[in-house]
Each structure stands twice: as structure tokens, then as C-alpha cells.
Structure 1
């Protein structure tokens, strides 16, 4: 920020990825106060772009500038009234990211006087929260069908064109290129003038952007197909600009942008130590479609998670309600009444840039924030600045998808007490997450939250051990009852349950999910005893538990490797 103020910053996008609660916003606040008060920088002006209007109110209050020194520019006159100073005369201009995008409309920053100070572009530019690598436009065959009745009021010819287009798009192969017809601009303008709701507005806007463009076809629900187009979002001359994004370190969009497009620099950072945090993961599908199909059962799962910490405040992050589903109501009905008074709810989309829950020690993510596959595809093209007619490198869409999951989860978890920081560590907290088994989320949590303890979570009525698995567990338990220091050889367990094939034993017993959980509950680990073949060849109570109990270890296992 100082380099921008002095005019020596290179024309790049600078990304600060300090985790939630590590001082990004505080640094900005202190900088604004110092800059406005500096006699050496009287002509230097600042543009601060925030994600939501509520954030503007908060930062204006926290900075505490004189009204003459700042202005607010949004679509909300009540927010704008926080200062009577005209934007062009204020040293510091607060606006929303959406306002900047709508006013630029693909043009250059230097030719947009709306954001200038005394006729010149502002030198210091700060973008709070995520900066997308580009704008993704999507329109499905179903979306086109939903517009037909409205478009027929505007132009019968346009409606007929869209009717044929819907049919062709639905028959297109997934992954293929698709040419959108060039649509009459004046007709689209008439359509915009007649728009009746936000849904129509969004889809007519997408229609105008896709007009005459070659797009990529992506899968949708069932036979539905989605046309996808990605475009560069911001003009190059917005740089230098500072992006304050707490979850940038887990997002693949920034990494691919830096690797391939260039012009982006990660500022030196310090990753928070999350060792005081415990994350419990339930492996269940809990996207919005899963909630639509299995809402009451998922609500019961969330309620059971809530019951683990009844005496503590809890924040539950859930899917936004619509006319088909209200997850917060389902969860509220499932939670015992005594727990509701200290339980807060926040829907995805409102899960970042708020400190309201910074003292809440328990956070439950009642499912994950899944974007459509078409959005991930578009973000991949935008991150690489790759035209839609060029093939993406292998697995890049999967990288983008997992990174976006990480972005949402780090932001949501950061609303709670763990956003606090003491000696480089987060404050102690508990997080419960419901995530699909094949999503890769559980495996990535240790990278997203370095040092945190990640545990598998099962409901109280989880399946019991049965068959050979139950026989193996009963045998091990009996042996330990006879001798708590015993090392139970795999071959002894195999002999007891009548299993002669080691591969079958590994597959059906050792790797059985409920058996592995049972071992963990019993404090048992697999060990390698000397003189016997195999990387691991026996079950044994974990060594630290022996020491804690004052049990003297047998000589042959004191040096064994767990």
C-alpha cells in the first residue's frame, strides 16, 4: 500500500493470504488513518472495493475518518449518506466490487471518472475478499425454456430462435463446442426494459453475453446441457491493486493465474497454526440436492453434532433457503429446544467478511457449498486465460473445484472463535463438517488447517460390527482382557476367524471402515513386531497409553515402530 502511495509499485495484482483474524483489515484501517493524516501524501487517494454494503458500514465506523475525507458509492442511497462528500473530492472512496464492475463494463480504469480523485485515477487500490480470475456466464437448456414465454412478448422471432436453440443445445455432446447465434441487440434491449424479476434479468444478461460466441457445453441435471463462456473480469490497468483474501492460499484460481497468466504476486505470509482446532468429518453427501432428497435425516445428523457441545455457543452454516427447501427450519426442528437459544444460523453466501460470531467456539458446516460443474469449468478457463475453444489441461477442473471448496470452508470456519490468534495459533474450537466421501475435502483439511486434528465422525446409531469383523473384534478384546500389554498377531486373529488368506484379511477386516473405527475407540494401533514378516503384523494398545497407565512394556515391543 505504501509503494502504491509513493508510485513505485509494479503493475501487478498483489495477493495477501493471511488467514482470518491475522490483521489484514486492521492493517488497512491503520494505513488509511496514517495516509489521510500524512502531509507528504496530501494528493494521494485510495479506492477500497468491498464485497458487501454491510462491510462498508463496518469499515467506515472502524476507520473513523472525518466526513470530508471519505465518500461512499453504492446503489443504496442510505449507505451513500454515510458521507456527504462527493466521490470525486474524497481522499478515500469506499464502493462495492459489483459497482466497480458495472461501471467499468469491460472498459479501462483510467477512462472511468466515476472512481477518480480530482480528475485522476486513485493511486492506492484495495480489493477486499476474493478476486475472481474472470466472469463466468452460464445458460442451460432449461433456462432458455424458462425464458420462452417472456421472450415471446418481446419478439416472436427471437422466441422461435430460442426454441430451436434449446433443442440443439440439449442434443449437444458434453464437452463439445457450440456456436450461439448472433442475436439482435435492439431486441435484447427491449427485453431488458420489460424484465420482471431477478431470475429473468440474470438469464437475459447471460443471453446477451453468449450472443454470437463459441461456448463449451457442460453437463447439467439429467438431459440438461449448460452453455459456458468465461471472460476476463477486470481491466489490466486496475493494477497495481492489493487483494486481501484470507483463503487465497487454498484456492487454485490464484495459483493457476500466477503460473500461466502472470501478473499476480503472492505477498509474504504467515500461516496460522491450527493445532488447538479439532475437526470432525461426517462422510455424507450434503449438497443442496442431497438436502432436497434427504433433508430430515441430514437435519438429525446436524442436531446430533450440536448435542455434543450443548453448553457452548454454536454457529451452523447451511444452504440458503428457497421455495423447495429451508435447511435452517429443518435443523431447528431437530435440535432440542434448550440448545436453540445459543445457536446461530448463517447461510452460504453470507459466510465471509463478518466478525459477528468471532466468540463462537463451535461451528457446524451442514453440508458444503457446491458450485455447478459449469462454474468450475468456466473458472478453469478464466484462471488460465484460455479461450473456450482450447482444451483444458488434465485434472485442472478438479483442482479448481477442490480449491473452491477450501475457499468456502476456510472462510466459514473463520467466522468462529478460531479466527482469533494468540502466539501464532488459532483459539481453541471445534468444527463439524458434513462432506461427501468422494469430494476430497476430508483428505485436504490438514492442508487447509495446518496442525488441526481431523477425526472421522459417526452418529451414535452407527452400524454395529457383524460377521467375521465382529468375531475378530471379540477375539482381540478377550486377549486384551487377559493381558492388557498383549500384542495380538494378525495370524492369530486370522486363525480364530478361519481366514487363511492374508489379502482377504487385509481387505475384509483390517480395511473395514467400522473395524478401523473400533480399533481407534479401543486405543489400538497396528505395530511391527521384530522377527515376523510384514510392514505391520500385530494389534496393540498404543504405546503412550501404556506409559500413562504406568504399565511396563514387554522387552520385545519397547522399540517397535507404530
Structure 2
């Protein structure tokens, strides 16, 4: 179940980015220190950071220096108890020293005799990042503790959590322990019985939890739930039917669902993938949701909820892609309580981005993976002598992108090629010397998720109608978030004189995604070129006729399904098996469908495992975005 969020808005919150009124100043403890304590801590940390970055070849510009100093100053203010209750966001690009500043600050804080009573909470996205920062910080074991669900990682220190001045944990651990309660009332994260003064959130802080459950998800639970409680299953069956018949965009009230039955169901399922759907039922019990579209007649219930308590602030967020995400901007505009720290955008003029206008979502890969793999292989082989990182969709029983690409590449090229799936594309330096990065498709969330994120960002209930253009802003911003993070894993992560290090990036994304037009904003100064596969033949015969018919139908209704039978009738094909072999099975036709952002879907009441073509990005199609004409291959 996808997650997101943070703080409930209050009447006190404003959209100011400067420090607000004095009554909002947070003072968790009483301090009797000199006025220079914070300045001394900031100066000593900044000096070490500058020397460290210089050692790695980074000469800081004036703006870069100020941006890092603001990160350090914010942590020093927390140490002094003078930081206001705000979410402080640093959006420095990957490789510009945010994490280095945190590591050095921890060392300097431990050395400061004035701050011996000050404690730190560091929340990271992955356990591997905890191991890396613990190693790089070089803290004495007595000074830190680790709290995760992995006992091997926790064993990095034997110091009890409540007695360690620095506590490393995962963001999911924090969310699960707080469970909607107050941070200051959760002793798990306290130091010697009091809340830790310095709170750092590394990587993205989402604006809320987005809970989604489709009518198909509910239907998939019925057989199992009848074994738990026949009466409860009947109730869920009725719920599924009512949701499936609800109008898209309407409000829908979930009934009160017996928690004891749901708890029993979760216990019986264990690690089964359906457990998340049962947990979503519990979240949606007695809630008013917004109904979003799915495939065919499928409907999706969407709810946005707050997760992190307001009293977690002050907290410092280190998110390299914050400058491209709309969630922070909407949060700041509508809810307030968020402060953008000074930043220094990297100059990406040494970077060349090659953009291929192809649908390459997971469904496109499942249906046309061989053709897409050959395209990725062609991209990778442009500079075969160099190392290459390919970012791809996570493998499952239906899809294995690394295997498809490796087969297309052959053993010689595969030996110098690394693979990293979406979800692991953040916060790793393992590929920082790799000059070529290929994004073999982009990380797409369901349209219903972007709707939920928009509600969470604005702090508005589901009953409030949000303009479609705002949801589209959120969607494009989330694409930017994923792309900036993934590109930042390669050599362009490096920085010299304010510029990234030279590199090439290849991106495959659908025309309707808006990604191509946004690349120059996401990577200021970069050269963006359109990329075309070599020697791609045009469609011919019945295949060309089928494509022409589908293209015309898309003009009339960009989001509506196009039945196989309608295509067959148009091209005069009466035999389904012949249509499947000569049209649907044609690799060029599959690539053409991918160009248009189309995938095969199953509509209810019609025979066949798949029986229609439909746009993979319905949110953009519903907004009236017309698919552009072909730029390569078929001249239909």
C-alpha cells in the first residue's frame, strides 16, 4: 500500500518562507548556554564539510556554500532549542553535500561539550543507508543506536535506544510506532525520557498517506473472507458491487467494517499479498472516499490521510528532488508550516539527455518487452566501452526486464552493465562513476494515487473537488521526483564548480506524460535531444489498417477502450486466432501501441483474457491531451 505524508495543518500555519511570529518558537528544554554556541557548532561543522567536499574535488560557489550552511544552521538551531515548529526543506541536488553535512554535524555534535544533553533522531528510507551513514560518521558505539525490524542492522550498536544520543531508524518504523499519535508522547524515540531535539528526515517526506482499494481488489478477497465469516463476506460482496457501479468522481461512503473480523483475516493471511487489501479495508471503514477510474468497469476508492503528527516539527527534510515536486509547493501554498531553505541548483550543461517517445510503463513492457528491450540495448550500445546503469521496473512473475535486456545485449555488453529497479533508485552512491544511465520506462503510479497526493498536499478532505490541472501538476512533479533521483545515481551526481560531471542519460517515456517538455526545467542547462531507434520499418497491410483505425478512435475518445472486435470488423478479419497472430502478435504493432501509450485490457462480459486496447495513462487522456502524430516508423 503506497504511503505518503506529514503534518496536519493548523490555524497558526501560514505560507511564509521566512521565520514567523515568536509564539511559534519551539523550546522543548531549558538551556543555559552562550549566544555563540550555535554559531560555534555551525562554523566547526561547515569548515569540516568544505574541507571534505574539497577533498572530493568540489569547489563550492557562494550559493552552494550558503545552502549547505543553512542545512547545518537549522540543525544547530534545533540543538539550541531555537528552531521554530516548521518543516525545513533542503532541495540541493544529488551529490551536493546534504548527507555529508549531516554526517559531519553528528561528529561535531558528539565532540561539543556544550551540547552533551542534545540528542538526534535520523529517519532514513532504507536500512542500507543506515549502515552507510553509521560507517561514514565513525561514531562511538556508545553514542548511537539503531531501531529497525532487522536485528542484524540493529546489532550495529549494543547501546539501548533510550540511552543513545543518536538514534537511526527507518521512516516506516517511525510511522508504525507513532500510529497517528503525538511524537512527544512516544517514548520509543526519546532520549533519557525526553523527545530528541534534532530531527532529520532523509529523502522524500510525503504529504499524507494515500489509501487505495479497487473493486477488483475487494472481489479478490471474497473467497478467502467466506472462510473467515460468511456474513462479513456477504457485506463485502455488496460493497464491491456498489463501488463498481459508482460514478467516477463521486463520493462514496464505506460501511463500518467489524475490526475483529479484519484482524482475524490479517492474522490468517500472514505475508499473503492480499493482506494489504484487508488492511486497506480497515483504513477505509466508515470513511468517505472519492471514486476514481480503473481499467474497464473497475472503480478505485481513494482516501488521503495524515500520518505524521504536527509535533514532529521542527524537522529537517533532505530531499534532492524537492525543487521539482509539486507536493511540497502545494503544501506550502495551502497549509503552510513549511520553509524552503536556500538552495543552489546544479548546472547540468555537461549532461546530454536523449528522449525516446515510447510508452514504457509496466503493462507496455509485459506486452511488448522484446521490442522495448531491443530499444534499450540499442541505447546502451551507443557507448559500449563505458559502464552503464539501467533503471527498470521491478521484476515479478510476469516480467523480468534485466533478463530481456541482457538477452538483447548479448554477453559482451551485459558484462559492463548494471541494473537497478525503481524503488531502489534513491540514496545510493554505488554507481556514482557510471557515465551512462538508461531509464527503461518511468515510475508510474496509478492516476488515483496522484489524486490522493493532491488532497494530502493541500490538506483538503476527499469531499472537496480538486481541479484536474492541480492533479496533473502533482503527477508531473512525481515523475520529476523519480527521474531526478534516478539520474542522480550516475556520474552526473558529481559536482565541480557548480556543474555536474559529464554524462549521457536515455529516457523512454510516453508522449502524454509531459516528461520531455519538463526535462530542461528539471536539469537546467542540459542538452535534450529526441532519440529514434535505427532502421525501424513502417507498418504495412492489415497491421497498418488496424493502427489507422485505432488512431482515429483515439481522436474521438482518447480514454475509451477500443474492442478487438471493432478493429477486426474494420480490417475485414473474421477469425480471432488469425487476428491474434498477424496483428496483436506483430512486434512492430506492439511497439506502435507502446508509442501511443496503449495496452491490452480485459473488459467484463466479453470473452477473452484481453479484449480491448486502452490508454495506459487515462489521467492525461481524460484531460484532453491528444496523442501526437508518429515521429518515426509508420506513416499512418
Q: TM-score range by the shorter chain?
A: 0.7 to 0.9
Distance 2:142 2:175 in 1: 26
State the 1:312 CA deviation: 0.2
Distance 1:249 1:405 in 2: 12
Query: Residues 61-460 of structure 1 correspond to what in structure 2 (within 5 A)?
Result: 61-460=135-534
4+ residue runs over 3 A deviation: 511-515
Distance 1:140 1:203 in 2: 9
Determine if contact 1:348/1:369 at 8 Å carries over to the other structure. Answer: yes
Distance 1:78 1:105 in 2: 25
Query: Residues 11-30 of structure 1 correspond to what in structure 2 (within 5 A)?
Result: 11-30=85-104
Max radius of gyration: which structure?
Answer: 1
Distance 1:219 1:233 in 2: 25
Determine if contact 2:532/2:632 at 8 Å carries over to the other structure. Answer: no
Distance 1:30 1:352 in 2: 21
Moved more, 284-293 or 188-197: 188-197
Q: Which SS does the other structure have where 1:291 is aligned?
A: helix
For these two proteins, the number of residue pairs brought into alignment is: 471
State the 1:462 CA deviation: 4.1
Q: Which SS does the other structure have where 1:78 is aligned?
A: helix
RMSD of aligned Cα (Å): 1.5
Distance 1:189 1:513 in 2: 54
State the 1:337 CA deviation: 2.0
State the 1:168 CA deviation: 1.0
Residue 112 (structure 2) pairs with residue 38 (structure 1) = yes
Distance 1:176 1:402 in 2: 24
Distance 2:270 2:294 in 1: 26
Determine if contact 1:132/1:233 at 8 Å carries over to the other structure. Answer: no
Task: Determine the structure 1 residue equivalent to 2:549.
Answer: none
Distance 1:256 1:324 in 2: 37
Determine if contact 2:431/2:489 at 8 Å carries over to the other structure. Answer: yes
**Residues 1:512 and 1:143: Cα distance change in structure 2 (over 3 Å):** closer
Distance 1:435 1:76 in 2: 36
Distance 1:113 1:513 in 2: 60
State the 1:512 CA deviation: 8.8
Distance 2:410 2:446 in 1: 34
Determine if contact 2:288/2:462 at 8 Å carries over to the other structure. Answer: yes
Distance 1:4 1:199 in 2: 41
State the 1:463 CA deviation: 5.8
Distance 1:317 1:434 in 2: 11
> For residues 117-147 of structure 1, what are the alpha-carbon distances to aligned partners after superposition, in whole Å with 9 as ceiling and x for unaligned?
0000000000000000000011111111111
State the 1:196 CA deviation: 3.2
Instruction: Return the TM-score normalized by structure 1.
Output: 0.82
Q: Which SS does the other structure have where 1:137 is aligned?
A: strand
> For residues 147-180 of structure 1, what are the alpha-carbon distances to aligned partners after superposition, in whole Å with 9 as ceiling and x for unaligned?
1122112111111111111111111111110110
Distance 2:146 2:272 in 1: 25
Give ranges in structure 2 of 5+ residues lacking alignment: 1-74, 539-628
Distance 1:337 1:98 in 2: 39
> For residues 35-67 of structure 1, what are the alpha-carbon distances to aligned partners after superposition, in whole Å with 9 as ceiling and x for unaligned?
011000000000000001111111100001000
Pick from 76, 82, 94: which aligns with 1:2? 76
Q: Which SS does the other structure have where 2:213 is aligned?
A: strand
- Ranked by relative contact order (alpha carbons within 8 Å, sequence separation 6 or more), the top structure is 2
> For residues 461-520 of structure 1, what are the alpha-carbon distances to aligned partners after superposition, in whole Å with 9 as ceiling and x for unaligned?
1468xxxxxxxxxxxxxxxxxxxxxxxxxxxxxxxxxxxxxxxxxxxxxx99569xxxxx
Give ranges in structure 1 of 5+ residues lacking alignment: 465-510, 516-562
**Residues 1:512 and 1:341: Cα distance change in structure 2 (over 3 Å):** closer
Distance 1:147 1:350 in 2: 30
> For residues 257-311 of structure 1, what are the alpha-carbon distances to aligned partners after superposition, in whole Å with 9 as ceiling and x for unaligned?
0000100111000000000000000000000011111111000100100110100
State the 1:351 CA deviation: 0.4
State the 1:393 CA deviation: 2.8
Instruction: Return the TM-score normalized by structure 2.
Output: 0.73
